[in-house]
Amino acid sequence: MKKYLKNIMYSNLKFFIFFLFTILCISNSAFAVEFLNGLPALNVNTNGNKTEYSVPLQILILMGALTILPSLILGMTSFTRIIIVMSILRQALGTQQTPPNQVIIAISLFLTFFIMSPTLTKIYNEAATPYMNNEVSAEEAVDQASKSIKNFMVKNTRKTDLLMFSDLAGINKKFDNYEEIPFRVVLPAFMTSELKTAFQIGFLIFLPFLVIDMVISSILMSLGMMMLSPMLISLPFKLLLFVLVDGWAMTVGSLVTTFSVGG
C-alpha cells in the first residue's frame, strides 16, 4: 500500500512540475526562447525570410504530424464518402464480412489517392517543391498548401452547410472567394456535407437489393416456407444481379464522378 501511494505521489509530482514549467513558458515568452536556445537539439535559427530548424526538432515535428495524419485523411479528403458507401454496399448485398474490412479500407484509400491526385500534385508543385528548393519559407508553403486543400473542400461542400456553420461561428459577411472562408468553418461543413452525400448514394444503392429481398420474402410466405431465411435465398440473386450489371465498376465510377476536383 505504501509503495502504491509513493508511486501516485511521484507521478503527481512529475505532472505538477511539468504543468508549472508549461505555464511559465506560456506566460514568459522570453524565458521560453532562452530555454530553447540553451538546448542545441531544439534550436530555431532565423536568417531574413528563412527559418531553419534543427534536425531533432524536424523529427519531432514530423512525428507530431504523423499522429494527426489519420484525422487529415478522414476529415479533408474523399475517404469518408467512399468508405461509407462501400460499407452500405456490403450491407445491402448481405455478404456479412465479404469483402473484409481490410479490403474495403484498401479500396477506399486507393480511390482517395486517385481522386485527390490533382490536388496533391498541385500542393507538391506549388508548395513542397519551392520549400525544398529554399524559395519560400515554411509558413508560405503551408499557406499555399492549405489554399489548395481548402479549394477542394469548398468545391465539394454544399452552400447550405457553409452558411450554417458561418452563422454558428458568428460570421455574417458574404465570402467573395474560397480563400476568405476560415478553416474552422470549412472543415465541419465539408464533413457534414460528405456524410449527407454518402447516405444519399447509399440509399440509392440499397433500393434494388431491398426489392429483391421483398420479392423473395413474399414468394417464401406464399409457399408457406416461413422458417426458411429470406436473406439466405436472396443472396445468390443479389450477387447475380450485381455481377451482371458490373456493379463494382459502376459503383466506383459513379463515386469518382461525384467529386469536383478541378483546379
Handedness of CA 86, 90, 91, 92 (dihedral sign): positive
Contact 86, 104 (CB under 8 A): yes
Ramachandran sector of residue 48 (left: φ over 0; alpha: ψ -120 to 50; beta: rest) = left
What pLDDT is recorded for position 197?
92
Q: How far does Cα 215 stand from its chain's mean position?
A: 39
Between CA 112 and CA 256 the distance in angstroms is: 9
Name the amino acid, one letter, at 146: S
Mean pLDDT by 10 residues, the chain (263 residues): 51 50 47 49 54 64 73 81 91 84 90 89 85 79 84 87 85 75 86 92 89 85 76 84 87 86 60
**Reported pTM:** 0.71
